[in-house]
Amino acid sequence: MPKNKKIIFEDLALIDYKKSWEYQEKIFDKIINQKLENRENNQDKATENHLLFCQHPHVYTMGKSGSTNNLLFDDNFLKKINARFYKINRGGDVTYHGEGQLVGYPIIDLENFDFTIKNYIRNLEEVIILTLAEYKIKGSRLENSTGVWLDVGNPFKVRKICAIGVRASRYVSMHGFALNINTNLDYFNHIIPCGIGNKGVTSMKNEIGKEINFKEVQDKVYKNFLKVFCL
């Protein structure tokens, strides 16, 4: 049977982080269960691939390898800034999500695309790099780090514009990327983003100097995702 590269896309708009996480888990479990059923019954029924786009109200999330030393707040301060905090099951350290940031959750069977985990992350980075290039922003990879960065050749100016943190089991992915479009960067001041204290964070708005059409960027990310993953 040919491998299924069809992407089922959903725009969840502005959604509570926990609600979106539970929805991811539901899709993730469905794909895993299909793979297990295929193995147990010696069948080859196609597995689905999903891509969710959304924005979240103010929230901080910490991956499995995260350190509480990178949190510069307590519960009282979280209430003051109207934010929430979750420890979650992706890789990576602490990051921030908020309105004006495009969050993408690809929940896909990597075997449909013949990807290793490393290749998958590199392809997510490529999607963002291609999108930024359409706005004349030069995004790059930073050695020994995930995500998309600017000015990687200058240690005094290097800054992250897109964070990536994923979970994969039986070659099925969840969680994903967070691209800062019109994000309020002040919220990053309350953490050490991704546990990297000597590098900054930026947004497309910050780099271009004006508010960016969010829907336009989202459409371009989707187009480039299909280009990278499905062609």
Retrieve residue 219's tokens.
Answer: 């459409």
Q: What sections of 44-161 are H helices per DSSP?
A: 75-80, 117-133
pLDDT tens, residue by residue, 113-162: 999 999 999 999 999 999 999 999 999 999 988 999 999 999 889 999 99
Question: For residue 127, which of 193, 42, 219 has the smallest C-alpha distance?
Answer: 219
Average confidence score pLDDT of the chain: 91
- pLDDT given for residue 173 in this prediction: 97
Instruction: For the chain, give the percent of residues with pLDDT over 90.
Output: 71
Ordered DSSP codes for 184-208: -GGGGGGB-GGG-TTSEE--HHHHH
Q: pTM to 2 decimals?
A: 0.92
- pLDDT given for residue 81 in this prediction: 83
Kindly indicate the confidence band of residue 14, based on its pLDDT and cuts at 50, 70 and 90: very high
Question: For residue 101, which of 55, 136, 135 has the smallest C-alpha distance?
Answer: 55
Question: For residue 191, which of 54, 58, 90 has the smallest C-alpha distance?
Answer: 58
Domain boundaries defined on the chain: 8-230
Q: What are phi and psi of 177, to 5 degrees?
A: -130, 160
* Active-site amino acid positions: 194
Instruction: For the chain, give the percent of residues with pLDDT over 70.
Output: 92
State whether CATH 3.30.2010.10 applies to domain 8-230.
Answer: no
